[in-house]
Amino acid sequence: MCAEAVHAEVRLAILAKAPLPGRVKTRLIPACGAEEAARIHATLLRHTLAVACAALPPSRITLWTALEHEHPLFVELAARHGIARRPQPEGDLGERMYYTLAPGPAMVIGSDCPPLTPALLRRCAEELARHDAVCLPAEDGGYALLGLHQAHPSLFTGIAWGGERVMAQTRQRLAALGWRLACPATVWDLDRPEDLERWRSMNSVASR
C-alpha cells in the first residue's frame, strides 16, 4: 500500500476524562484548586479536539471517554466536530490504549499536550506511512502520542505508566520487535504546577 493511502486511513483515538473537580489534573490542585484544575482540563480537551479535527477528517477520529461518559462537554464536542464517541474499556492505561489502536493503522493521544498542532499531528500520520511506529516523546519521560500499524501486546504490558521510563521502555520493546520508529518532535504535557506558567505564557503570546 502506498504512503498516501496509509496516511489517508490512519485513525486517531483521543482518551479523555470528564472534567470533574477533584478527579482530573489532581497534581495541579495544590496550585490552583480543584475547580480551576477541572476548567483547565476542559480547555485542554477543547484544544485537543480542535487540533485533531483540523488535521484529520472527523470520520477518522474517536473520542474515548472516562469517568462520566454522558458528560455535557463530551456530548457537545462530539456533536460540534462530528466525531464518534465511545466509552473507554476497563483496565490500566496500557490495556485501554491497546484496545483503541485496533485495527490499525491508528494513533492514540491524551488531551493535555498544549504544543500539539494540526501540522505536527499530520506529520505523525505521514511518518506512520513510512515507519512501523510513531511517537511524540514527552519531556517527562513518557509520550504524548503513539501510532502503530498494528498493536502488539508487548508495547502495553509491564510498562511503568506515569513514570519517567515509559518512552525508554517503549523504545526497548519496539527494538525487540524490529520495528522502525519515527519521533518527529519532543513535546510536553500540562501535568504539574510548574507547567501552568509555561502554558499561560504560551497562551499570552498566542493572543497578542
Q: What is the DSSP string of 57-117?
A: -GGGEEEEEES-TT-HHHHHHHHHHT-EEEEPPSS-HHHHHHHHT-SSSEEEE-S--TT--
pLDDT at 180 over 80: yes
For residue range 116-163, list pLDDT tens digits in order: 999 999 999 999 999 999 999 999 999 999 999 999 999 999 999 999
Instruction: Tell me what pLDDT residue 126 has.
Output: 96
pLDDT of 208 over the 60 cut = no
User: Residue 127 to residues 87, 91, 198: CA-CA distances in angstroms?
Assistant: 28, 29, 28
Asked if residue 5 has pLDDT above 60, the reply is no
Give the tens place of pLDDT for each residue, 21-34. Answer: 999 999 999 999 99
Q: Domains of the chain: which residue ranges?
A: 3-194
| Domain 3-194, architecture per CATH | Alpha-Beta Complex (3.90)
pLDDT band for 202, please (50, 70, 90 cuts): confident
**19 closest CA partner among 76, 71, 88, 94:** 71
